[in-house]
Structure 1
């Protein structure tokens, strides 16, 4: 027995020791816009004194690299020098990557710019921000969630401490263009509370990204001013690239943390095809016990993804992606504990719900090199979203201190309201890009058939105890509203065709001036509306380090499908329209340090509004405007550290034209400050921190009426809103810290991490919920949010 234990200890010790063996770095270099291979480029492994030259097809290989972490510099005449901050060479394995390089746009003495995908691209001259896979993973407090990582960018506002959805420059969480491997998606989050507000949408968006950590390989974010290739949303553009499988060797990874587990497999299945797959399951029971939360909600969800990439031949590359994202949160009467105060923060009040949801995506992307200056991309996809929500409530017996006695002795029902929202879309995109000597032309078409099956049912007449002063009531002394099934219920089952066509160009007017004109046409089937959106952006180089950028254009946004479904046949919602202008300045201090300053203004027309909170009727009577300025200093990942500091000023106003006048929009946040830093002192430790401050979110001003039913035995309070968003919640302050510890093994890496969001434990309030039983509100928000776990890569 002793010999067996001794042998096992030696085996473990041997695995934890770094092997003095080598690995390889292989890949292919292509031009970012036209995807043409780059021959004769230099690939240098820093600190290893190793390098090579790419061949006529763009392929390169560097062998016999000692195991470790390295930076890579790629340079070629006529192209911007590319710097890859970190590749991990594992003994006996090959690190493989297809690397995009941007064509040089000026004859001036360019500095070496250390960028990720999309930055310094002449097609996107307005400030573009990007994250590498490693920068996403290191982002403290994000816990690998790409949407939470984006919240530290200038002009971006997180929708709350417990939410991962983002709002950009005075607009909402539903207003962003999302592209995943060039496939349009409208929702990238779990646990979006559809039906939260008396059956209508919660503006906060979802709580957790549908992408597991290390799945996203590159991120490109543009805070407005995006070109005519993208549409149907108007606020910002977010392009996500799923990691491709390694064409040379297999690798496996597993992460196990406080809320679940993630498994990843990555490698070749043939000489031409590689696969990347991931599976994640999350359950919040353990975390809620660690935080000692009362009445924990049963929350679980999964994320399953597979992507294959096949190099059919020298001209054609085919990728296939499939995703499945189920979720099932619920709160039943058995989850409510006696003795808790329903006024407490995050108490959940008297709400009961049972939710099931599923998202699925299947897509194919064929990239064809037509000749040495043009590329054609064809994308075919099918996506679906299934939502089945039951909402109920209970009327508890309360003690004199507003504590719940035995919940089962109160009145409760599980299915007062029911919402079914099933969406299916089959779509096709074809995008052609051609490069001339001073002009790059892009033209394309999008076509989609959208199928919507929607049902909203109220089982009986309900009472709504929150109302606006201007809402219609039978009499001025009735301080509540009646939610009638005839005004609430909706049934919609129909399909519609959406079509788009667009042309955009990037014209190098001179060595210093680039102009990007474009125009987009959209037909929206459910609205039966044709729209045309002209856009223009450009940049003026003032020197080899600094430039002025600008953008102006019209953007249209489709109405939300659930909003469309709630209207009568005679009431067709129009697309919302915005006119946007941006003016910016960028200074590249050094190869990895840049300063960006931008001012912006937006004008909104035909904004969808709800005249009466207890009716599903909507119209396009709303208008508004927003303006602000952003300043950011970004240090890209190099020399083992990266960081960013940013400040944003923003005002966003809306007017529903209902007699209450202009008000602050939900995501109007005047002041927003973020400071982020990450340092890797050696191959074992990574230390990261992030501080965020923002003005508190707008909240309604109101007065409370007591005994509104005139029944002392059924005492109810109501909340009369006297000014929409007329005050503000407390300021948001959060300090996030992450520590990673890596131990090289003979055949991989063992890692342990601690990721603490809001380590200062300030309870950041996201919203208030009125409780008719007590006349008080409970706050929805989050204090400290810890996560820790281990990761093994083989």
Structure 2
């Protein structure tokens, strides 16, 4: 097929628009050079440039203009009879940086984000080994970022959790960005590991900005990190249709102009894990599937107004019934899933309109109107297996089971509006704005009958010290909450170039949280000192308040209003730009936590704001940006994160306390046909509870049950996480497009990496949740 579709070399075109980052105005007279060729162009009065009749292949482009940072963009792929179109932002030159070429992408090397700022291009995301094109998995290689690894993709940053990050998609705030978050699986409450797969298919995200703390006052309501994802805009010049078919399912993308002013980008992905489970011979697992559907239109209304409309729909389902349990299964084997049955249905949806207006030659105004929703409908059951003398399950259908012991419904809808105005002066940029949102929360958690819980803390109430289990009454678990609340924010931030080498960014944010009925004020400050054209010192400090999770709000009595938690952050860093595409970043950081939400009894709904804690650490990263044939990254992070629930038990390690993390990434492209990539990850094992096991806690040999008494919260550790990921991509040009194939292997050594331990009262032992090798492969055709 490849030889039939392959043709002799032909040509394509490159076209784009160059705008100034701080004002969004067109840059007139910018020089655009196709590297290692004699081809180039100059942007016109609208910022438009065009280079035609380029031989097909992959190129890098350098954009330069007096008074701006020179920018180099790599991996621009020219296809036969197609026009590659891109909108490119240039940053003001700062000090001597106006004479330095920096290989960068949107938002990088911006004075407003002097610390912990990283970016990924579309191509870097796609070829990140072990990620399968998943942006959340690609982020796990960054310093200070921790994920549960293996089947989980959600990230935790610098001593905080997976639910503590600001997520913005085309300037629209999102609930979360992952599929298959196991809400209610662990004793009826949220799984701290987060979700397992991003809701964005490969090649959907065009640019990524990630700030590992210290972000400015424009963003709030979460306190850990800031992640901005830009969805690709439709090509304004030519159409393309691509299809990717891999082990998990198909992805279709359409991209092109629908009129002279409007372009469209659309994608559809369906994933089903049955084939992968068969290849890995995973037994007793669940049926898993999800879909991701996206539509985005972009219209240049006139020279001053640009509007985009984006819609997302992300359904998912997973189930495990009695028919999924195989006889002769050892309950204690890894990933046995124990005795839990479940049926999960959920979805996420978003519709947003973003209007960008150039109000003058040095200012612009963004107005964003959006609707978003999230639905969860979970049923949890349990079966009581009959075991033989060796502890293996006999025919499950002869055991006792129930499908709906616990149910959880969590439906959230939000209508929001954001208005942000930016004004640029000679040495000062001012950004101010307001956010307003109305959220409706419909939450219900239900326990169908009195239940026996065999895992408990030593401090949990029991009628007798010799009772090594807890009896959970539905009155202590059930919750019903339906309410709406208004929340609003106002903020202003300044970027002040005090001198050619010193930039200071003060700001302040006000928030009102409707469900908490609380007003908060968050002052913030960051800055950068350019020592010379290569060396700089960066710093940030500020106060960050975080809203209670909606599932936590829904589980409380009406008179128990949870407050916002508070984090005080401080960061000090040093950056050395060795060359245009190579930089070293070293940062030390500290966080102080107050008013953290804690759960006095691990099986009850009641929560309190009595926790506090601290975290500190240091990150070192050496980043080689994607240029010419290779790119890579070396990173090391040291992190300590401790919490105290103030229940007279003292401090304990937070679940994402991982003192040592090492990441190595390398990608090499010897020619336009082959790309080879590898990634090594090491992390100290995550904290886990220390416990003792009590036998025959029911005093009934015919109904043998074991009790797990937790004697020290997170007093032990899981085994260290170690993974080597490998990816190979192969490309062949065709008459009107490209054919490619890929192989992506997560954890090629097949080391079993443990995410968590689940205690089994039937056997008195724990089985491990985790994953060994995780392969995927497929082909992609673009026409």
Give the drift of 1:632: 0.3
1:111 deviation in Å? 2.0
SS at 2:220 equivalent: coil
Q: How does 1:199-218 map to 2 (within 5 A)?
A: 199-218=188-207
TM-superposed CA distance for 1:504, in Å, is 0.1
Map 1:344-743 to 2 at 5 A: 344-743=333-732
- Counterpart of 1:61 in structure 2 is 50
Preserved CA contact (<8 Å) 2:270 2:292: yes
Structure 1 residue 109: Cα displacement: 6.4
Distance change >3 Å, CA 43–CA 108, structure 1 → 2: closer
Distance in 2 between residues matched to 1:648 and 1:126, nearest whole Å:
15
Contact 1:580 1:600 in 2 (8 A): yes
Give the distance between the partners of 1:426 and 1:669, measured in 2 at CA.
38
CA distance in 1, matches of 2:125, 2:177: 16
CA distance in 2, matches of 1:188, 1:134: 20
Q: Distance in 1 between matches of 2:149 and 2:388?
A: 32
2:551 counterpart SS class: helix
Contact 2:485 2:515 in 1 (8 A): yes
Aligned pair partner of 1:198 in 187, 195, 198: 187
Quick one: distance in 2 between partners of 1:623 and 1:695? 24
| CA distance, structure 2, for counterparts of residue 291 and residue 74 of structure 1 | 48
1:238 aligns with 2:262: no
Secondary structure at 2:287 match in 1: coil
Question: For 2:105, which of 97, 116, 120 is the aligned residue?
Answer: 116
Q: Deviations over 1:498-546 (max 9, x none)?
A: 1000000000000110000000000000000000000000000111101
1:3 corresponds in structure 2 to none
1:684-739 superposed Cα distances (whole Å, 9 cap, x missing partner)? 00000000000000010000001111111111001000000001111000000000
Match of 1:305 among 274, 294, 309: 294
- Give distance in 2, aligned partners of 1:297 and 1:34: 51
Aligned residues: 783
Q: Match of 1:71? A: 60
Structure 1 partner of 2:150: 161
1:596-631 Cα distance to aligned partner (Å, 9 max, x none): 000000000000000011210000000000000000
Aligned residue number for residue 6 of structure 1: none
Q: Secondary structure at the match of 2:476?
A: helix
Distance in 2 between residues matched to 1:408 and 1:323, nearest whole Å: 41
1:220 aligns with 2:248: no
The CA deviation at 1:64 is 1.0
Is contact 2:31-2:63 (8 Å) kept? yes
Q: 2:331 aligns with which of 318, 342, 345?
A: 342
Answering whether residue 119 of structure 2 is matched by residue 130 of structure 1, we say yes
The whole-number CA distance in structure 1 between the counterparts of 2:370 and 2:637 is 37
Q: How far is the alpha carbon of 1:67 from its aligned partner?
A: 1.3
Which residue is 2:6 aligned to? 16
Aligned partner (choices 52, 67, 82) of residue 41 of structure 2: 52
- Partners of 1:709 and 1:35 in 2: how far apart? 70
- Which residue does the alignment assign to 1:5? none
| 1:31 CA displacement | 1.1
Can you list the C-alpha shifts for 1:756-794, whole angstroms capped at 9, x where unaligned? 000011100010000000000000000000000101011
Q: Distance in 2 between matches of 1:556 and 1:320?
A: 30
The answer to whether the 8 A contact 1:386-1:422 is kept is yes
Partners of 2:685 and 2:553 lie apart in 1 by 32
1:186, distance to aligned residue in structure 2 (A): 2.3
Note the C-alpha offset of 1:108: 5.7
For residue 772 of structure 2, what is the aligned residue in structure 1?
783
The answer to whether the Cα contact below 8 Å between 1:156 and 1:166 also exists between their aligned partners in 2 is yes
Question: Does structure 2 retain, via aligned residues, the 8 Å contact 1:265–1:277?
Answer: yes
CA apart distance, 1:21: 2.3
Using the alignment, how far apart are the partners of 1:101 and 1:484 within structure 2?
A: 62
CA–CA separation in structure 2 for the residues paired with 1:346 and 1:627: 34
**Partners in 2 of 1:108 and 1:527 — Cα distance?**
46
**1:285–1:296 contact (8 Å) kept in structure 2:** no
Query: 1:127 Cα deviation (Å)?
Result: 2.7
- Are 2:108 and 1:148 aligned? no
Q: What CA deviation, in whole Å up to 9, does each residue of 1:386-434 have, x standing for no partner?
A: 1000000100000111110000110000000000000000000000000
Q: What is the deviation of 1:342?
A: 0.6
Q: Does 1:332 align with 2:321?
A: yes
The residue matched to 1:91 in structure 2 has which SS? Answer: coil
* Contact 1:644-1:676 at 8 Å conserved across structures: yes
Deviation (angstroms), 1:368: 0.1
CA distance in 2, matches of 1:118, 1:596: 17
Matching residue of 1:172? 161
> Is the contact made by 1:717 and 1:772 (CA closer than 8 Å) also made in structure 2?
yes
Q: CA deviation at 1:34?
A: 1.6
Higher mean C-alpha deviation, range 523-532 or range 651-660? 651-660
In structure 2, how many angstroms separate the alpha carbons of the residues matched to 1:109 and 1:176? Answer: 33
Preserved CA contact (<8 Å) 2:70 2:98? no
Contact 2:506/2:525 (8 A) holds in 1: yes
The TM-score normalised by the length of structure 1 is 0.98
Deviation at 1:312, TM superposition (A): 0.3
Q: CA deviation at 1:58?
A: 0.4
In structure 2, how many angstroms separate the alpha carbons of the residues matched to 1:171 and 1:650?
Answer: 11
* Aligned with residue 139 of structure 1, among 128, 142, 146: 128
The CA RMSD measured in Å over matched residues stands at 0.8
Residues in 2 aligned to 1:281 and 1:288: alpha-carbon distance in whole angstroms:
16
- Mapped partners of 1:381, 1:532: distance in 2: 25
Give 1:360 shift. 0.3
Deviations 1:339-371 (A, max 9, x none): 110100000000100000010000000000001
Distance 2:719 2:3 in 1: 52
Contact 1:470–1:658 (8 Å) recurs in 2: no
Conservation of the 8 A alpha-carbon contact between 2:673 and 2:732: yes
Match of 1:32 in 2: 21
Match of 1:328, SS state, is strand
Q: Is the 8 A contact 2:92 2:98 kept in 1?
A: no
Q: 1:289 aligns with which of 261, 265, 278?
A: 278
1:286 aligned counterpart, secondary structure: helix
Q: In the aligned structure 1, how far is the partner of 2:390 from the partner of 2:617?
A: 46
Contact conserved, 2:641 with 2:656, CA < 8 A, in 1? Answer: yes
Is residue 69–residue 98 contact of structure 2 (8 Å, CA) maintained in 1?
no
